[in-house]
Structure 1
């Protein structure tokens, strides 16, 4: 992976951003994330400079993103490509192949988390077990979920940093990029994707297949072509390009 990214051409780029670990530092629980005013301002500027060809692509639900950011005019995909919203005037849409995790499985996950002191995050279309506070339980969590879904071919386990998520099979962040890129203002632009986790690898691969720019944030192996060390470096990169764009416009 290369550490020096090319400069952004805002008139040609479609920018797709993961949230946790990419724009904000990871925290012990999803609710502990802090969103600064400077991050909100930067996202609004990126949205304006790309003529609204900016989208957040998160494992969080759109409802969770809205609660943290309160920027409904920015396009967003939530729950690993299972939810979409292009603009504030639209309601949240679901991927056509999505169905909710059965209640019986949700209840068993609740019991498992209560028994072991783990955090269960219930999303509209999936459920996630967080074990950051008990990292030694990774294998036990995986075995529990594998046994739980058994031969249920419509479900799969999504791997993440100290998290395992039970979700519908075959829908991921690459699905979100494909969905956005079929329509204006994203269609015909060069895709840029920034992400930090295993859950972003499908998106990196999709971007590379479409001659875009894939950027891995933080440590770990990745199929991405470029690398930035932290969310702070992501913000610095965008602010540098925004400043250069505004300086050029004043000339």
Structure 2
């Protein structure tokens, strides 16, 4: 589902989320830029004890209605959060991977074209330590935070493979990703909202990036809301908090 923004007050700031927003809700959480601060390299994010303690109490607070919804693979999220999210649903690869709480991960086969693209990206940028090529279960990303001057070239390279192989070019914060088509965070949230424990409960989706906008749209469509983390921009979210620290403060008071 492609996000369509119709907010007539796109340049007016949004209020912070109110107390009680999570009462009887389903909570869907992005990872990077929402639960943890962004890092120069994807593997460099830090999961602190405070975050682990907050996450550990969410399943009881919400009767199991909590999910991580990330562009990373499910395996990567497990690597960062481990047993802390044993009772969570986890969505990875921008919606292409879904693992219900306590279940097994459902995912399609990785297209061979992604391996060819990964080799091409490494051939072009592998000698530049400022650029990170991140291999994912169902995608491959070029992170150029350390070399912003290569942005145009990185996007052109990903776009060329996307057009040739029927894949999707997914932009993000100082990165561009090539991934499978037909899935996004919104489609995954919609799928989870159809079954227990989320069915019948308004979804609250929290995210920071443009890749999170389909999730904001679906949350609103299902009677819930989105919470934007970070600076104000055009968004389908209803509420906003300044940064990861502000969101963790809010979650601590409301979870």
- Cα shift at 1:116: 4.3
Query: What is the CA RMSD across the aligned residues, in angstroms?
Result: 1.6
Give the equivalent residue in structure 1 for 2:176: 164
> Is the 2:110–2:137 contact (alpha carbons within 8 Å) kept by the matching residues of 1?
no
Secondary structure of the structure 1 residue equivalent to 2:26: strand
Give the equivalent residue in structure 1 for 2:89: 75
- Give unmatched runs, 5+ long, in structure 1: 243-251
For 2:163 and 2:90, locate their aligned partners in 1 and report how far apart those are by CA, in whole Å: 32
- Cα shift at 1:99: 4.1
> Is the 1:105–1:148 contact (alpha carbons within 8 Å) kept by the matching residues of 2?
yes
Residue number among 156, 163, 173 corresponding to 1:150 in the alignment: 163
- Cα shift at 1:74: 1.6
For 1:113 and 1:220, locate their aligned partners in 2 and report how far apart those are by CA, in whole Å: 32
> Is the 1:192–1:214 contact (alpha carbons within 8 Å) kept by the matching residues of 2?
yes
For 1:9 and 1:131, locate their aligned partners in 2 and report how far apart those are by CA, in whole Å: 36
Secondary structure of the structure 2 residue equivalent to 1:150: helix
- Scaled by the length of structure 1, the TM-score of the pair is 0.89
19-28 or 208-217: bigger deviation: 208-217
Alignment of 1:85 with 2:96, yes or no, is no
- Cα shift at 1:223: 2.1
For 1:101 and 1:56, locate their aligned partners in 2 and report how far apart those are by CA, in whole Å: 27
Alignment of 1:125 with 2:138, yes or no, is yes
106-115 or 52-61: bigger deviation: 106-115
CA offset digits 1:19-70 (Å, max 9, x no partner): 1100111000111111011111111211111011000001111111111111
Alignment of 1:215 with 2:227, yes or no, is yes
CA offset digits 1:173-215 (Å, max 9, x no partner): 0011011111100000011010000100111111122221211
> Is the 1:101–1:168 contact (alpha carbons within 8 Å) kept by the matching residues of 2?
no
For 2:57 and 2:99, locate their aligned partners in 1 and report how far apart those are by CA, in whole Å: 19
> Is the 1:47–1:74 contact (alpha carbons within 8 Å) kept by the matching residues of 2?
yes
- Flag as ranges the 4+ runs of structure 1 deviating above 6 A: none
- Give unmatched runs, 5+ long, in structure 2: 1-12
Secondary structure of the structure 1 residue equivalent to 2:171: strand
Matches within 5 A, 1:102-113: 102=113, 103-113=115-125
- Cα shift at 1:168: 1.1
> How many residue pairs align between the two structures?
238
- Scaled by the length of structure 2, the TM-score of the pair is 0.88
